[in-house]
Amino acid sequence: MRAFLVEKYGDATTMRAAEVPDPQVGPDDVLVKIHAAGVNPLDIRIRNGDFKAFMPYRLPLVLGNDLAGTVAQVGASVTRFAVGDDVYARPDKDRIGTFAELVSVHQDDLALKPATLTMPEAASLPLVALTAWQALAERAHVQSGQKVLIHAGAGGLGSIAVQLAKALGAHVATTVSTAKVDLVRDLGADEVIDYRTQDFEELLDGYDVVLDSLGGDNLAKSLRVLKPSGIAISVAGPPDPAFARELGANPVLRLAMTALSARTRRQAKRLGVTYSFLFMKASGVQLRELTPLIDTGKIRPLVDRVFPFDETLQAMEYVEKGRAKAGKVVVSMA
């Protein structure tokens, strides 16, 4: 099959198109013919080697973390899917590889594609929708009437998180550039902060939850807009000890992660709030919980641009250089 490989960790020159063997299909696996695949900043960070300390992939590696497609084969123990089903998924972190014609996914990580979506729309969702769900519903337990701040509300993650927070009944604030103010209001944001002209720390206070996708100073300021007992969940900040335990990291790596997040955790403790790092997990169950919200229009995907599969490297460059105006970038086999 055709695929796009990372031959060694590094910049864009380390990726190439190649012919590789078709994936193996175990008893609990589903072989999916991929119709479209989402492109994420995570793909670039994996290619660059940012996670090699705790996700030591064997190279060469087929990249890609989102998919929508059609079931081509099922393993002997698969009970939930049949050949011909339209599906979508974020494969487990140890089984990525959606920049390819085929991928083998454990049945637990797969869900039927929302009926209302095209393949490119469905492919744009799994990673960001699962991240939003695991942050807001699973970890923060967002309730009706709570106040939630979503950073970068027009981005791939932010645009879905704004809609999910509204669906959970929250009062939602978000930060965007001037050109995207109307877009996020249309997604349901109650308060919109134009970060080019406004400082969210000066305008917001008493928030229950912050979802941070930027890290650095943005995360430090986010802690200060929380009310006591509030929680800041970051996908871009430093890994914390809880993540190290979840990962089963060795003692040296656990110490390193503890040290990396020590300053942020101390700051949070002084303010009476909590800091939590999130690295999302694959989950077909959670995708199935999200599907009704999608099919009823409470969550709608934003697709910035669709590239042909042959232009996967150009799609990666487009994302890496920040050219996307809103939502996700997708590559399509069609």
CATH of the domain at 255: 3.40.50.720
In a domain, 282, yes or no: no
Residues 268 and 192 in one domain: yes
The pLDDT assigned to 323 comes to 92
The CA–CA distances, whole Å, from 105 to 132, 266, 274, 281 equal 22, 40, 35, 14
Torsional sign, CA 250, 256, 260, 262? positive
In a domain, 293, yes or no: no
Adjacent-strand bridge partners of 166: none
The pLDDT assigned to 256 comes to 86
The pLDDT assigned to 248 comes to 83
In a domain, 17, yes or no: yes
Span 33-62, mean pLDDT? 93
- Indicate which CATH number applies to the domain containing 305: 3.90.180.10
Residues 182 and 48 in one domain: no
Residues 172 and 185 in one domain: yes
Segments of 131-277 assigned E as strands: 147-150, 171-176, 191-194, 207-212, 226-234, 274-277
Backbone angles phi, psi at 181, to 5 degrees: -60, -50
Spatial CA neighbour of 309 closest among 58, 50, 64: 64
User: What b/e string do you get for 296-321 counting C-beta neighbours within 10 Å, with b at 16 or more?
Assistant: eeebbbbbbbbbebeebbebbebbbe
Task: Kindly tell me if the per-residue pLDDT of 250 is higher than 90.
Answer: no
In a domain, 291, yes or no: no
Residues 18 and 105 in one domain: yes
User: At what angle are helices 251-271 and 216-223 packed, to 10 degrees?
Assistant: 50
Task: Kindly tell me if the per-residue pLDDT of 293 is higher than 90.
Answer: yes
The pLDDT assigned to 3 comes to 98
Residues 25 and 99 in one domain: yes
Residues 203 and 263 in one domain: yes
Residues 163 and 75 in one domain: no
Residues 170 and 269 in one domain: yes
The pLDDT assigned to 244 comes to 84
Residues 135 and 245 in one domain: yes
pLDDT band at 253 (very low <50, low <70, confident <90, very high): confident
Q: Is the pTM of this model over 0.85?
A: yes
Residues 168 and 116 in one domain: no
**Kind of pairing, strands 15-19 and 2-6?**
antiparallel
In a domain, 305, yes or no: yes
Task: Write the pLDDT tens digit of every residue in 101-160.
Answer: 999 999 999 999 999 999 999 999 999 999 999 999 999 999 999 999 999 999 999 999
Number of domains the chain is built from: 2
In a domain, 52, yes or no: yes
In a domain, 115, yes or no: yes
In a domain, 79, yes or no: yes
The pLDDT assigned to 246 comes to 85
Residues 149 and 265 in one domain: yes
Structural domain of 253: 127-277
154 with 139: CB under 8 angstroms?
no
The pLDDT assigned to 257 comes to 86
Task: Write the pLDDT tens digit of every residue in 172-197.
Answer: 999 999 999 999 999 999 999 999 99
Residues 263 and 310 in one domain: no
Mapped onto helix, strand or coil, the DSSP state of residue 169 is coil
